[in-house]
């Protein structure tokens, strides 16, 4: 049996994972929890074969859990994430699997099959090396990104990341809104968001990312969508599909 721990701060996500894993006769859920510190304790005490680990958790996120346990002691791992981010590309680069919320049964089945192979691979130590490489790449990228370089008609604007209010896709460009100024960066929204803190910058629509520190009000719609209102009065739509990105702010996690 593959002894498994489920870690996610959202109760519905844990229930869905339990339901999906219940269909696998070779998987036994030995524990579950909703926060990072408890996850570290459970992993070290229960020594599971496999962990489904949410990345976006308050206080201590999934990557901090892995660092606390140590890549060399970490069981086989499937990251759970709600965001299309740098992490997803890095997972693929380092052959580390993940599942996206909301969970799709077919995709989950493929992920679990890969996890079975990772459990076997773990005994040979290759997984620990891949996981360590992923953590190094992730830390290096986050540490060095303090500003975005925008070139415009012979000028170079240096836009500090901590001054960004929100961003929007604009064809082959990204509109960067910072302190009342707007800059056009030749990049994709996915590409820019991938280099920013997932805790600080949330995708609230397929074409919009917002700095959560700029939000002063969230207006809820009747269909699970709504608007966020920034301190400067800007109103941005959030879609039902991306409502989960605001879950902690809405008290839904």
Number of H helices, E strands in the chain: 7, 15
pLDDT value at residue 41:
95
Q: Are 15 and 29 in contact (CB under 8 A)?
A: no
pLDDT at 95: 66
How far is it, in rounded angstroms, from Cα 38 to Cα 98?
21
Give residue limits of the domains in the chain: 2-143, 147-246
Mean pLDDT calculated for residue range 160-182: 93
Are the C-beta atoms of 111 and 78 separated by less than 8 Å?
Answer: yes
Listed in sequence order, the residues at least 6 apart from 117 whose beta carbon sits closer than 8 Å to its beta carbon are none
- What is the side-by-side order of every strand in the sheet holding 50-54? 27-33, 2-7, 50-54, 76-81, 97-100
What's the predicted TM-score (pTM) here? Answer: 0.58
Residue 149 · residue 156 · CB < 8 Å:
yes
Q: Coil, strand or helix: which one is 29?
A: strand
Average pLDDT, the chain: 87
Q: What is the pLDDT of residues 43-67, one digit of tens each?
A: 999 999 999 999 878 678 788 898 8
Please give the structure tokens belonging to residue 104.
């799709």
Residue 177 β-bridge partners: 166, 182
DSSP code string of 46-102: H--SEEEEES--SSS-HHHHHHHH-TTT--EEEEEESS-SHHHHHHHHTT-EEEESS
Whose structure tokens read 């229930």? 15
The per-residue pLDDT for range 121-168, each reduced to its tens digit, is: 776 677 888 888 888 776 666 555 778 889 888 888 889 998 999 999
Helix extents (H) in the chain:
11-22, 36-46, 62-69, 86-93, 105-122, 126-144, 189-193
Please tell us whether the domain made up of 147-246 is placed in CATH 2.40.50.1020: yes
Distance CA 121, CA 69 (A): 19
Q: Tokens 């929890």 identify what position?
A: 33
Using pLDDT thresholds of 50, 70 and 90, give the confidence band for residue 93.
low
- Maximum mean pLDDT: which of 180-189, 211-220, 244-253: 211-220
Distance of alpha carbon 53 from alpha carbon 2, whole angstroms: 16
Pick the CATH number of 2-143 from 3.40.50.300, 3.40.720.10, 3.40.50.2300, 3.40.50.720: 3.40.50.2300
The answer to whether 65 and 6 are in contact (CB under 8 A) is no
Q: Of 91, 69, 88, 86, which is closest to residue 7 (Cα–Cα)?
A: 69
Highest mean pLDDT among 59-63, 91-95, 193-197, 228-232: 228-232
Domain 147-246 in the same topology as domain 2-143: no
Exposure of 74 by Cβ count < 10 A (0-12 exposed, 13-18 middle, 19+ buried)? buried
Give pLDDT, residue 253: 56
List the single range of 14-28, 103-117, 121-135, 149-163 with lowest mean pLDDT.
Answer: 121-135
């Amino acid at each position: 049996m593959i002894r498994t721990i489920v870690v996610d701060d959202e109760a519905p996500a844990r229930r869905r994972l339990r339901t999906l894993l219940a269909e696998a006769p070779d998987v036994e859920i030995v524990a579950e929890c909703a926060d990072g510190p408890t996850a570290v304790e459970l992993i070290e005490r229960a020594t599971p074969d496999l962990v489904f680990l949410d990345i976006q958790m308050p206080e201590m996120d999934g990557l901090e859990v892995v660092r606390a346990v140590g890549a060399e002691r970490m069981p086989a791992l499937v990251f759970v994430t709600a965001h299309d981010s740098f992490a997803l590309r890095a997972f693929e680069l380092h052959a580390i699997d993940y599942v996206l919320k909301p969970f799709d049964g077919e995709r989950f089945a493929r992920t679990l099959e890969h996890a079975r192979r990772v459990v076997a691979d773990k005994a040979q130590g290759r997984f620990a090396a891949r996981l360590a490489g992923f953590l190094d790449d992730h830390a290096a990228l986050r540490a060095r990104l303090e500003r975005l370089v925008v070139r415009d008609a012979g000028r170079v604007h240096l836009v500090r990341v901590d001054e960004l209010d929100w961003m929007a896709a604009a064809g082959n460009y990204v509109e960067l809104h910072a302190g009342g100024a707007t800059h056009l960066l030749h990049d994709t929204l996915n590409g820019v968001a991938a280099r920013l803190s997932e805790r600080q910058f949330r995708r609230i629509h397929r074409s919009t990312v917002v700095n959560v520190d700029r939000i002063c009000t969230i207006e809820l719609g009747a269909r699970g969508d709504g608007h966020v209102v920034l301190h400067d009065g800007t109103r941005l739509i959030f879609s039902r599909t991306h409502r989960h990105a605001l879950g902690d702010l809405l008290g839904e996690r």
